Amino acid sequence: MDTLDRLRSRSIAELVLLITDPEAIWNALRRRPEIIEIKKQMRTLAIPQSRLRGFVRNLLADFRQGRRFPHEHVLAALAVVLDSVPSAFADEFLRDLSRLKVQEFPISPRIAKVAVRKRNERVVPTKVTTHGDRPKLAVDKIRESPPPPRISASLSELPWKLAA
């Protein structure tokens, strides 16, 4: 059995079906052993992006207009797996799924939105702070000194001086 196929489990399907609040689904999914295991494998790069892409493509082959998508729980679980994975595929998957607005996918885009929010919260913002006066460096002395005389100005004086 493929590791990713563990995301098709009945327990995951029940959680995604029965729980109302997307954040509660996210909380419940992230504690599932299948998800913890696959997250671990993602960290060791055991699952290549091409395999993930193929896995999603196979799922989407079962899409039928007018009927709820049968693998919604798998996409929701994959969103939870990928929310802490720094990869181009994870970015693309979470962004595209969270923007999906079709009636056949009522839940998974909402889980992807939660996953994107959690992912963004993990990014540490860069902030520059200065703590009081620091000792002056050589570069500061150069900055504070008056600018040197312009070369062009001294050249313009040259013919006058010669004439004198």
Partner 1 sequence: MFELVSMAGTPERSIALETRLKRPIENAQSVGPDYQTWQTYRKHLNDHPGWERRKDPSGVYNCAGLVWAARRTAIYDDWEKILADDGYKQIVEKDVRVGDLVLYMDRQSKPRLLHVGVVLRMYQAVVGVARASSVEVPYVLSKWANGFGEVVHHFNDIPQTLTELKAKIEFWTDRHDQWTP
The residues of the shown chain that bind partner 1, judged by CB under 8 A, are 11, 13-15, 17-24, 27-28, 56, 60, 63-70, 92-93, 96-97, 100-107, 110
Of the pair 4, 28, the CB lying nearest partner 1 is at 28
Report yes or no: 8 and 74 within 8 Å, Cβ to Cβ. yes
Q: What is the token pair recorded at 36?
A: 């913890």
Cβ proximity to partner 1: between 3 and 23 the closer is: 23
Question: Which residue, 42 or 105, is less far from partner 1 as judged by CB?
Answer: 105
Shortest distance (Å) from residue 72 CB to partner 1: 9
Q: At closest approach, how far in Å is the CB of 124 from partner 1?
A: 22
The CA distance from 99 to 113, in Å, is 8
Helix (H) or strand (E) holding 40: helix 33-43
How far is 52 from 45, CA to CA, in rounded Å?
12
